Amino acid sequence: MSAAFGRLRGWARRTKAEVHALYLAYRDPRTPLHARLFAALVMAYALSPIDLIPDAIPVLGHLDDLLLVPLGVALAVRMIPPHVLEECRKKARENPGRVRPAAWGGVVVVAGLWLLLLGLAALLLARAL
């Protein structure tokens, strides 16, 4: 059990470092606009205190953190030019945790999605009654 926990901790540490490198790449002017926009969305969601699926829901609550964030990071990383990403990874290793981007964008996006879903549910409920 402790070996699996150690691997999970290592994976989480690497993902955190990758998000940091992604933040640095987002700020780099050599990163294409589409990659910047997608990286901003992924970082905002990863750092947002509001989840698309609340953590209180058993299993599904943590599934978004375990699947959506790493998949989003992996996709964003593929959009960034390799030389830019390597420089940003190096900077992230040299200054771990030094830069923490604001997560308000993620809060707005996720809260907006929740409000949209609640509105649709209310509309469907009103039609059914």
Q: Is the pLDDT of residue 108 over 90?
A: no
Identify the pLDDT of residue 102. 53
Distances (CA, A) of 38 to 4, 35, 54, 64: 32, 5, 22, 17
Identify the pLDDT of residue 97. 62
pLDDT, tens digit (0-9, with 9 covering 90-100), for 82-95: 999 999 999 988 88
Identify the pLDDT of residue 40. 84
Extract the tokens encoding 38: 């997608």
pLDDT, tens digit (0-9, with 9 covering 90-100), for 2-24: 777 677 677 777 777 888 888 89
